[in-house]
């Protein structure tokens, strides 16, 4: 299965692969990254791996285009989107677009955001692009892809300082801004129908150029069922398969299969996790809208006035284990 995935990946991305060495080489990196301060790092350089594409080889979307949700008839009902609502403005970012671009620099509800998706970790995360620099004050960042991976996860860079950022945790790991963290926003990873039902006046991201990539197709075909993560050689979780999904919220992780069996989990401190069928995996079938049903997850907190969406992610178990090795996965 891993061989099938590798063949499909190379067929899709082969034209964009750069002739870059496999091993960490900061001296060579500096030739391509003259603004990056490689003297500052909080991770070993040998944990950084080339992902098979050069800097910006997977191009971010910096001037996103949207259509009203009622006009998005190109999406199937169960196709996955990242649903973002900020200050009353709602936008859906389909994974059929993000799988080819990984980062969208946008603004929603007056907040500048980076909408990100790492296919190899199944990590969908949205960050506020503003940071407070100790010397320069507030800085608005714009993000691109480095073409590098750490623990099989997307390493982003900001175009203002060319510091490198770990997408999975929203933290700068190399460069001037090392140690700086981005604020993560609560979003829903949901089917297009779910977004449309709760935000009928929302907007939907569409490609700037329809034929730029094979939108709607999955270049990581059958990755869901691979026996081992791609470009990853770290420890694996011992209680669930590495490419199974986990739901993570407030420092706790639940196996998605466990939540699917229960359909609803309520914790003593008022956290409510719910699962409902009707969302395709973006990393299974050749056509995303035909992927296996992994279901919709919501995570909310009970308050005195009702329920409130909170921060949560649905990631591959190996990635959760790589970045949070001391955080157990609840599976029974």
The conformational region for residue 268 under phi > 0 = left, psi -120 to 50 = alpha, else beta, is: alpha
Task: Give the CA distances from residue 255 to residues 86, 88, 274, 280, in Å, rounded to whole numbers and listed in that order.
Answer: 29, 32, 12, 18
Sign, CA torsion 29/32/34/40: negative
pLDDT of residue 14: 44
Query: 121 — phi, psi (to 5°)?
Result: -110, 0
Least confident stretch, 8-12, 138-142, 192-196: 8-12
87-131 pLDDT per residue, tens: 999 999 999 999 999 999 999 999 999 999 999 999 999 999 999
pLDDT value of residue 210: 87
User: Cα separation of 306 and 302, whole Å?
Assistant: 6
Tokens coding 190: 């949901």
Q: What is the pLDDT of residue 23?
A: 63
Query: Among 222, 197, 229, which residue's Cα sits nearest to residue 286?
Result: 222
pLDDT at 2 (0 to 100): 43
Q: pLDDT tens, 165-209? A: 999 999 999 999 999 999 999 999 999 999 999 999 999 999 999
Q: Is 239's pLDDT higher than 50?
A: yes
CB 204 within 8 A of CB 66: yes
Q: Is the pTM of this model over 0.85?
A: yes
Q: Residue 243 has which token pair? A: 């490419």
What does DSSP say about strands 137-140 and 252-255: parallel, antiparallel, or unpaired?
A: unpaired
Could you tell me if 54 and 20 are in contact, meaning their C-beta atoms sit under 8 angstroms apart? yes
pLDDT tens-place string over residues 292-317: 999 999 999 988 888 999 999 999 99
Angle value at C-alpha 317, between 206 and 128, nearest 5 degrees:
45
What pLDDT is stored for residue 102 in this prediction?
A: 98
**b (16+ CB within 10 A) / e for 136-149:** eeeeebebbbbbbb
């Amino acid at each position: 299965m891993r061989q099938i995935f590798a063949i499909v990946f190379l067929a899709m991305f082969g034209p964009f692969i750069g002739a870059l060495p496999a091993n960490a080489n900061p001296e060579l990196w500096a030739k391509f990254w003259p603004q990056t301060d490689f003297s500052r790092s909080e991770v070993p350089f040998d944990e950084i791996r080339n992902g098979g594409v050069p800097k910006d080889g997977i191009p971010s979307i910096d001037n996103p285009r949207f259509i009203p949700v009622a006009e998005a008839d190109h999406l199937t009902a169960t196709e996955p989107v990242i649903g973002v609502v900020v200050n009353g403005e709602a936008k859906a970012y389909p994974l059929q677009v993000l799988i080819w671009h990984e980062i969208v620099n946008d603004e929603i509800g007056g907040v500048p955001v980076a909408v990100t998706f790492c296919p190899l970790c199944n990590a969908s995360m949205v960050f506020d692009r503003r940071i407070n620099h100790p010397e320069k004050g507030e800085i608005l960042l714009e993000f691109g892809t480095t073409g590098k991976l750490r623990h099989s996860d997307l390493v982003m860079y900001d175009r203002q300082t060319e510091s490198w950022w770990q997408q999975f945790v929203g933290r700068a790991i190399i460069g001037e801004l090392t140690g700086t963290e981005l604020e993560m926003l609560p979003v829903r990873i949901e089917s297009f129908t779910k977004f449309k039902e709760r935000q009928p006046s929302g907007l939907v991201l569409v490609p700037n150029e329809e034929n730029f990539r094979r939108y709607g197709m999955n270049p990581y075909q059958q990755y869901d069922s691979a026996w081992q993560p791609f470009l990853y050689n770290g420890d694996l979780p011992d209680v669930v398969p590495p490419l199974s999904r986990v739901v993570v919220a407030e420092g706790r992780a639940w196996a998605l299969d466990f939540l699917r069996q229960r359909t609803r989990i309520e914790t003593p401190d008022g956290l409510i996790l719910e699962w409902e069928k009707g969302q395709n995996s973006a990393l299974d079938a050749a056509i995303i809208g035909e992927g296996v049903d992994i279901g919709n997850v919501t995570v909310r907190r009970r308050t005195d006035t009702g329920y409130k969406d909170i921060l949560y992610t649905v990631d591959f178990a190996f990635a959760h284990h790589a970045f949070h090795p001391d955080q157990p996965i609840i599976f029974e």
